[in-house]
Structure 1
Amino acid sequence: MSAQVVFVHGIRTSATMWRAQVEHLRSIGVGAVAVDLPGHGKRMSETFTLDGAFETIDAAVRDAASRGPVLLVAHSMGGLVSIEYAGREDKPPVDAFIAAGCTAIPRGVGLAAYRALTRGFDRLPRRGQYFTDLVLDRTLPAETRADFGAGGYAYDTQDIALRSLSVLDLVAALARIDVPMWFVNGQWDQLRVNERLFTTLKPEAELIVVPRTSHLVTAMRPRVFNAVIDLALATMAAKSASA
């Protein structure tokens, strides 16, 4: 049975943000699926709930596990939710985990400030889409620029999703994760704020910081991120061979 990869997107975006990674994996014969969380992408009309997000991830992971060992890859909000999922007491069938752009505890002043900022952008014409496009046009390479927003932007879901994150117990979840794990951050990622805490809680996990890269590390440096995925798959294969 060959390894399978499940991708979970970040806030506002959708499964399309992973096109470069999915195409890379399919080119080397590795099964891959990218999910849309409730309220995002093809499910934009739905209401986001944590339970719905967990159900979506679990369904994709268990389906993938029927075909082989599972590498879970998640970014930003999707990473935070996936940490909670992977660290359940009733362990899901996840064999390795890449958590990108999500080394932050979503509580307190930081979360409140981020919510206030996003609500401020919502009051701008077109909900600040002009500024979003400007930043993405200047930072993302041509090969991923169209993919990042191809599934639309979940503006109506954003505050609901952010508010829900405060109940996550990431400290307890991280302590329960016992599979090979990688934290991947961009050098200028604002969600590196608790990076030291996360690496202290998971000293066996590898921390990879990609130079000259923002929070959107998966799209800004797709080849680098693909190389991290290849590393995780090689680690899984070596572990399986030695078992």
Structure 2
Amino acid sequence: MELTIDERSVFAATGGQPFDAGRPAVVLVHGAGMDRTVWAAQSRYLAHHGRAVLAVDLPGHGRSEGPPLATVTALADWLARLLDAARLERAALVGHSMGALACLAAAARHPGRVRALGLCGCAAAMPVHPDLLAAAAADRHEALDMINAWGHGGGSHLGGHPQAGTWLIGGGNRLLERAAPGVLSADLQACAGFAEGEALAAQVACPTVVVVGEDDRMTPARAGRQLAGLIPGASVAAIADCGHMMMTEKPRETLEALLRLA
């Protein structure tokens, strides 16, 4: 589905079903350097079970035009404009990592637009290792290697995915290799510069689930639980034997967690 936001073309996948703004809407937001395809399993199920789905490519990612946005606040406000472009009054926002920060900020800054919130692999603060920042700034493949090594749980390094033939580490590399030069660096800088998480979390007023991977080395499960404790009424869905990339590592369990609110 093509939309126009800020005079630029934006692409969003609809899960294989025509987008119907009259259905309960779910917007799925990817993480740093990634695109809409990380939500392939969840978006298809939701679209075929009564939801209007937008798995969006953020600016400068995937098939969306424009430079990547420089701050989490800018991403949050862009999500509100996405709802305008799709003619949606309200939607459930579901984000992963950087995308989760954007959804968190959007729920606090635009409370009337967000009916529910799903935060995957998220914490109130998400600092980035200096080595990763440096490698991304230099557009070295080492940055991608670090993300995939740190971002997948131990089991994902050995195989065992429920979908036969799936190579999670290799697939993660191919995904990040598609990003244009500078995109991953800009995204990581946005995460590193985000300092408002605790204050924004306290302002969230919609049903919220925080999804944590028990083997997440990029955003440890304890940090996700701490974030949930800052959000009034939030619940935690913990996924065993799972790292940061829960949407692809444990697609069924991630979907089940999100169905609490989506």
- TM-score normalised by the chain length of structure 1: 0.77
Match of 1:78 in 2: 99
- The equivalences for 1:72-221 within 5 A come to 72-88=93-109, 90-106=110-126, 111=127, 114-120=129-135, 126-127=141-142, 138=158, 141=161, 142=163, 145=168, 149-150=174-175, 152-153=178-179, 156-165=182-191, 166-190=193-217, 191-192=219-220, 194-221=223-250
> Closer, same or farther in 2 for the Cα pair 1:167/1:120, shift >3 Å?
closer
> Closer, same or farther in 2 for the Cα pair 1:139/1:32, shift >3 Å?
farther
Greater share of helix? 1
Q: Unaligned stretches of 5+ in structure 1?
A: 234-243
> Closer, same or farther in 2 for the Cα pair 1:29/1:188, shift >3 Å?
same
> Closer, same or farther in 2 for the Cα pair 1:196/1:55, shift >3 Å?
closer
- TM-score normalised by the chain length of structure 2: 0.72
1:124 & 1:35 partners in 2: Cα distance?
24
2:158 & 2:66 partners in 1: Cα distance?
30
Q: Is residue 19–residue 147 contact of structure 1 (8 Å, CA) maintained in 2?
A: no
Match of 2:11 in 1: none
| RMSD (Å), alpha carbons | 3.2
Higher relative CO (Cα under 8 Å, sequence separation at least 6) belongs to: 1
- The equivalences for 1:49-88 within 5 A come to 49-50=70-71, 52-63=74-85, 66=88, 69-88=90-109
| Offset at residue 32 of structure 1 (A) | 0.2
User: Which of the numbers 9, 20, 43 marks the counterpart of 1:22?
Assistant: 43
2:131 & 2:171 partners in 1: Cα distance?
27
| Offset at residue 11 of structure 1 (A) | 0.6
Query: What amino acid is aligned across from residue 84 of structure 1 in structure 2?
Result: A
| Offset at residue 93 of structure 1 (A) | 0.8
| Offset at residue 57 of structure 1 (A) | 1.4
- 1:71 alignment partner, SS class: strand
2:184 & 2:230 partners in 1: Cα distance?
28
Q: Is residue 108–residue 200 contact of structure 2 (8 Å, CA) maintained in 1?
A: yes
1:189 & 1:155 partners in 2: Cα distance?
27
| Offset at residue 163 of structure 1 (A) | 2.2
Q: Is residue 6–residue 71 contact of structure 1 (8 Å, CA) maintained in 2?
A: yes
| Offset at residue 195 of structure 1 (A) | 3.1
| Offset at residue 54 of structure 1 (A) | 2.8
Percent of matched pairs sharing the same residue: 23
